[in-house]
Amino acid sequence: MRKGKKYAESLKQYDRTKLFDTTEGIETMLKTAKAKFDETVEIHVKLGVDSRHADQQVRGAVVLPNGTGKRTRVLVFAKGDKAKEAEEAGADYVGAEDMVAKITGENFFDFEVVIATPDMMGVVGRLGKVLGPKGLMPNPKAGTVTMNVAQAIADSKAGRIEYRLDKTNIIHCPLGKVSFGADKLRENFDTLVGAIVKAKPAAAKGQYIRSCVIATTMGPGVRLNPVRLMDINTKAQ
């Protein structure tokens, strides 16, 4: 894909072969943000695991201290008192079989997070083929299958993100917006990478974090030193 003039200008501002420490890398990335809108900052972490093996899966959820910078719409599958609790907690949509019909019949996907009480998973399971590929299927490890729907909704609205490996053993996640500035992005980075490091499978051998790249929506990637990231206390870098 052909890149624009602003992208080419951004490339000239730093050495793409250099492995940056986190703080310098974030500051360098922010200098490359040339778009006229508030770009999303993304992180891409390649791990030394094999996602084809169940004992090498890396998946979880974490609440970014400064949020993601975007509004999160939440759908909750619940009935009775739990449905009422979800509505009072600020869920954007609450339902059961009716929501299954709406999603399958109307191709309704006006939400970013799906939460379900455990007793509703039999109903939600019918949507596995459509929610799964979109990364929206509720999962206990991600905190989205729970009886405490109010807390799950609050976390989602506050900036909880789910991290999981793709087929190439890479985790892709948002870190926030360019407008957050270096300090807030660093706090979000530390929280997410710390969680990924703690989630290292016992079966993982060799170098765990193989590479780490941060980038804005329209900007080029900035490579960070993966070895330094294995220290959970990344602020010591």
Q: Which residue has the higher pLDDT, 134 or 13?
A: 134
Q: How many domains does the chain have?
A: 2
| pLDDT over threshold 60, residue 177 | yes
Name the burial class of residue 41, with classes exposed (0-12), middle (13-18) and buried (19+) by CB atoms within 10 angstroms of its CB. buried
Q: What is the CATH number of the domain that holds 109?
A: 3.40.50.790
| pLDDT over threshold 80, residue 12 | no
Q: What share of the chain is helix, strand, coil (3-state, %, to 5)?
A: 40, 20, 40
**Mean pLDDT computed over 22-44:** 93
The amino acid at 222? V
Using alpha carbons, select from 229, 57, 78 the residue that is nearest to residue 153: 78
For 48, phi then psi, to 5°, come to -85, 60
- CA 72 to CA 68: how far, in whole Å? 9
Same structural domain, 78 and 102: yes
pTM (2 decimals)? 0.79
Name the burial class of residue 60, with classes exposed (0-12), middle (13-18) and buried (19+) by CB atoms within 10 angstroms of its CB. middle
| pLDDT over threshold 70, residue 125 | yes
Same structural domain, 47 and 119: no
What mean pLDDT value characterizes the chain?
91
Domain boundary among 123, 141, 158: 158
Same structural domain, 79 and 154: yes
Same structural domain, 53 and 168: yes
Sign of the dihedral defined by the CA atoms of residues 80, 81, 85, 87, in that order:
positive
Same structural domain, 59 and 97: no
What pLDDT score does 142 carry? 85
Burial 200-209 (b: 16+ CB within 10 A, else e): bbeebeeebb
Domain boundary among 134, 158, 182: 158
What pLDDT score does 10 carry? 62
What pLDDT score does 34 carry? 85
> Residues with Cβ < 8 Å from 172, sequence gap 6 or more?
42, 43, 44, 166
Q: Return the minimum-mean-pLDDT range out of 7-16, 159-168, 205-214.
A: 7-16
Domain boundary among 132, 158, 184: 158
Q: Which residue has the higher pLDDT, 119 or 71?
A: 119
118, 103 Cβ separation under 8 angstroms: no
Q: Which residue has the higher pLDDT, 138 or 17?
A: 138
What pLDDT score does 122 carry? 96
**Mean pLDDT computed over 45-50:** 96
What pLDDT score does 9 carry? 66
Task: Read off the pLDDT band of 8 (50, 70, 90).
Answer: low
What pLDDT score does 3 carry? 61
Nearest-10 crossing angle of helices 149-158, 80-88: 30
**Mean pLDDT computed over 180-188:** 97
Q: Which two tokens stand for residue 234?
A: 């990344």
What pLDDT score does 5 carry? 67
Total residues belonging to the chain: 237
pLDDT tens digits, residue range 106-122? 999 999 999 999 999 99
Domain hosting 78: range is 74-158
Burial 111-126 (b: 16+ CB within 10 A, else e): bbbbbbbeebeebbee
Same structural domain, 63 and 165: yes
Residues in a beta bridge with 176: 41
Q: Which helix (H) or strand (E) holds 75?
A: strand 74-77
> Residues with Cβ < 8 Å from 66, sequence gap 6 or more?
159, 176, 180, 184, 185, 187, 188
| pLDDT over threshold 70, residue 165 | yes
- CA 113 to CA 172: how far, in whole Å? 16
